[in-house]
């Protein structure tokens, strides 16, 4: 197995005292000071994340939209320029290869952002599905860095960052799941109002050469607003509270979109797309479905822990769990048999041999105030 890669900002993270872990084949900062402090900073002010491990693919051509309609689960051809859309890359049998965000950059140009650990399978799928289509695909991952500013103060931080300017639209007027052309210190920048924390925020895609200067500028501009650098640990508890799935936990090749509560991302009325026949041939009446679980006390269920029914029988398995920093009690996402999936159902978690009562709860656990 090869050593994990480092992002262009690795030396910045080291200087800030970050602890690291291998995530998706990349050496990424887990935390700088404290998981809790970084989590609370994002909920109350802002956090700055290095997400340069994500994969970026460009799709161009006069039929690029139609190609993506056939390659992915959603309808991308109808998306206006300037917008973004959540979608899925499905296997032939309907399992999930990855969840992605697609941006329409121009009439004939799209950007697909995939998870770091799925760069190879998504790239392979896009290439294979391009056969017979007059489109050009480019893997841009090694050309760009990706930073995220997340939290209620995110807009203020970006507005205060010297050298950062948008073209054609004010930062404040950029809508959720939309993007704007921007510049930083003379370098082009794609600025999208998207994120993975449940808070307002922006993701900034910048050429590698400008990444360190942008990181430094954002940290300096954000300090008066309470912005801190934030690592993967806080990102995980933030997305869990927001009920956002993580590939390898809630999503996998063994899971279908409907099981994961993502049926809305699949356009079954399209005449054809990869995975359509597989989904249509499945009997989904008795397969496990994703639910939220809330419990009292301080002991949280973790990935792999058993979910128990009223008689102590195993009825499911936790995929992600933590003591929620915002809510103050344990939360988890889990796959359970459909008969136990109704909100309010009383179940239990097997936490290292101890039965911890848990209640099925609608997702998300946390929703920011508008």
- Segment 107-138, tens digit of pLDDT: 999 999 999 999 999 999 999 999 999 999 99
Please say if the pLDDT value at position 370 is more than 80: no
Phi/psi at 264 (5° precision): -65, -20
Helix (H) or strand (E) run with residue 129 in it: helix 119-129
- Give tens-digit pLDDT for 53-71: 999 999 999 999 999 999 9
Is residue 135 within 8 Å of residue 90, measured between CB atoms?
A: no
Closest CA to 111 of 121, 101, 120, 119: 101
Pick among 3.40.50.620, 2.40.30.110, 3.90.800.10, 3.90.1170.50: CATH of 284-361: 2.40.30.110
User: Can you give the pTM of this predicted structure?
Assistant: 0.96
Residues 65, 77 contacting (CB under 8 angstroms): yes
Q: Which residue ranges does the chain devote to CATH 3.30.1360.120?
A: 5-53+142-241
Q: Which CATH class is domain 5-53+142-241?
A: alpha beta
- 127-133 CB contacts, 8 Å cutoff, 24+ apart: 129/67, 129/70, 129/71, 129/274, 130/67, 130/71, 133/61, 133/63, 133/66, 133/67, 133/70
Radius of gyration of the chain (CA): 21
Across all residues in the chain, what is the average pLDDT? Answer: 96
Q: What is the pLDDT of residue 280?
A: 87
Instruction: Give tens-digit pLDDT for 62-108.
Output: 999 999 999 999 999 999 999 999 999 999 999 999 999 999 999 99
Please report the pLDDT score of residue 343 as a whole number. Answer: 98
Q: Please name which of 270, 277, 275 lies closest in space to residue 66, comparing C-alpha atoms.
A: 270
Q: What is the DSSP letter of 79?
A: P
At 160, phi and psi to the nearest 5?
-95, 0
Beta strands in 268-363 (DSSP E): 289-294, 306-308, 314-323, 330-336, 346-351, 354-361
Q: Is 1 a residue whose pLDDT tops 70?
A: no
Task: Write down how long the chain is.
Answer: 370
Domain with CATH 2.40.30.110 in the chain: 284-361
How, if at all, do strands 354-361 and 346-351 pair?
antiparallel
SS3 letters across 33-46: CCHHHHHHHHHHCE
Q: What confidence tens digit (pLDDT) does each residue in 8-36 have?
A: 999 999 999 999 999 999 999 999 999 99
């Amino acid at each position: 197995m090869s050593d994990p890669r480092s992002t262009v900002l690795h030396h910045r993270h080291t200087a800030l005292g970050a602890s690291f872990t291998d995530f998706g084949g990349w050496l990424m900062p887990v935390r700088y000071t404290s998981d809790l402090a970084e989590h609370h900073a994002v909920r109350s002010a802002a956090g700055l994340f290095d997400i340069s491990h994500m994969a970026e693919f460009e799709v161009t051509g006069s039929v690029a939209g139609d190609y993506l309609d056939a390659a992915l689960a959603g309808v991308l051809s109808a998306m206006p320029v300037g917008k973004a859309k959540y979608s899925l890359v499905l296997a032939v049998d309907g399992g999930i290869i990855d969840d992605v965000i697609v941006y329409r950059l121009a009439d004939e140009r799209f950007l697909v952002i995939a998870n770091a650990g799925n760069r190879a399978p998504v790239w392979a799928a896009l290439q294979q599905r391009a056969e017979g289509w007059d489109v050009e695909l480019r893997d841009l991952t090694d050309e760009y860095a990706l930073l995220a500013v997340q939290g209620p103060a995110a807009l203020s931080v970006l507005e205060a960052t010297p050298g950062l300017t948008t073209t054609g639209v004010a930062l404040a007027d950029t809508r959720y799941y939309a993007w704007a052309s921007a510049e930083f210190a003379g370098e082009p920048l794609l600025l999208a109002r998207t994120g993975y924390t449940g808070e307002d925020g922006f993701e900034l895609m910048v050429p590698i050469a400008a990444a360190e200067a942008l990181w430094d500028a954002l940290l300096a501009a954000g300090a008066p607003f309470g912005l801190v650098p934030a690592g993967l640990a806080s990102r995980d508890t933030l997305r869990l509270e927001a009920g956002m799935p993580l590939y390898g936990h809630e999503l996998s090749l063994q899971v279908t979109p409907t099981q994961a509560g993502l049926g809305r991302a699949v356009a079954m009325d399209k005449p054809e797309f990869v995975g359509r026949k597989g989904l249509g041939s499945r009997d989904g009446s008795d397969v496990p479905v994703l639910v939220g679980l809330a419990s009292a006390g301080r002991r949280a269920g973790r990935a792999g822990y058993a979910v128990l029914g009223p008689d102590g029988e195993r009825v499911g398995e936790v995929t992600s769990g933590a003591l929620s920093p915002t809510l103050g009690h344990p939360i988890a996402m889990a796959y359970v048999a459909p008969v136990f999936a109704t909100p309010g159902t009383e179940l239990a978690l097997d936490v290292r041999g101890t039965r911890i009562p848990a209640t099925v709860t609608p997702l998300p656990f946390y929703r920011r105030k508008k």
